[in-house]
Amino acid sequence: MSANYDTTADKTKSRSFGEQSSRVAEEVQELGRVALSTAGEAAANLKDKGQAALEAGRDKAKKAKGQFEDVVAENPMKSVLIALGVGVVVGYVIRSRRS
What's the pLDDT tens digit per position in 37-60? 898 899 999 999 999 999 999 999
Tell me if 72 sits within 8 A of 79, measured CB to CB. Answer: yes
Q: Looking at residue 9, what is its pLDDT? A: 57
Residues ≥6 apart with Cβ < 8 Å to 71 = 79
pLDDT tens digits for range 63-98: 999 999 999 999 999 999 999 999 999 999 999 888
CA 50 to chain centre: 8
